[in-house]
């Protein structure tokens, strides 16, 4: 299986939503897919990194890294949050999620 990891494009959003819904199931999937859509358009989440895993040009996994600012200390702390990470059930346990994470920011 030849898995490719790349930055997502606007054209991937529908496929990404399908991956999230299948990975998280009907109870949570719709909510989490909506979260991904909202984060992708939220300027306060930037810098943002959205990656997809593809097999034969089909999106089979996705991960989103968003900017977070932690306040309440003397100096605010900036961090990247990894969430959500999802892989189609038929492609789980094959290292795709790990590859998505490793390709993200270091």
- Model confidence over 18-46: pLDDT tens digits? 999 999 998 999 999 999 999 999 888 87
The whole-angstrom separation of Cα 100 and Cα 102 is 6
Helices then strands, each counted (H, E), the chain: 2, 4
Instruction: Compute φ and ψ for 44, nearest 5 degrees.
Output: -75, -10
CATH label of the domain that carries residue 92: 3.40.630.30
In which domain, by residue range, is 45 found? 3-103
Residue 103, both tokens: 């390709």
Give residue 44's pLDDT. Answer: 82
Number of domains in the chain: 1
The residues facing 61 across adjacent strands are: 53, 87
Given a cut of 90, is residue 75 above it in pLDDT?
no
| Separation of alpha carbons 21 and 72, rounded Å | 35
pTM for this model (two decimals)? 0.91
- What's the pLDDT score for residue 76? 84
Q: What's residue 82's pLDDT?
A: 95
Predicted pLDDT at 69: 83
């Amino acid at each position: 299986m030849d898995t490719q990891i790349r930055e997502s494009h606007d054209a991937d959003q529908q496929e990404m939503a399908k991956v999230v819904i299948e990975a998280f199931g009907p109870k949570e999937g719709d909510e989490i897919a909506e979260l991904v859509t909202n984060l992708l358009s939220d300027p306060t989440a930037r810098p943002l990194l959205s990656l997809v895993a593809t097999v034969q040009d089909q999106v089979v996994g996705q991960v989103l890294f968003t900017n977070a600012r932690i306040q309440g200390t003397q100096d605010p702390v900036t961090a990247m949050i990894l969430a959500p990470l999802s892989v189609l059930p038929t492609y789980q346990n094959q290292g795709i999620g790990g590859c998505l994470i490793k390709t993200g920011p270091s």
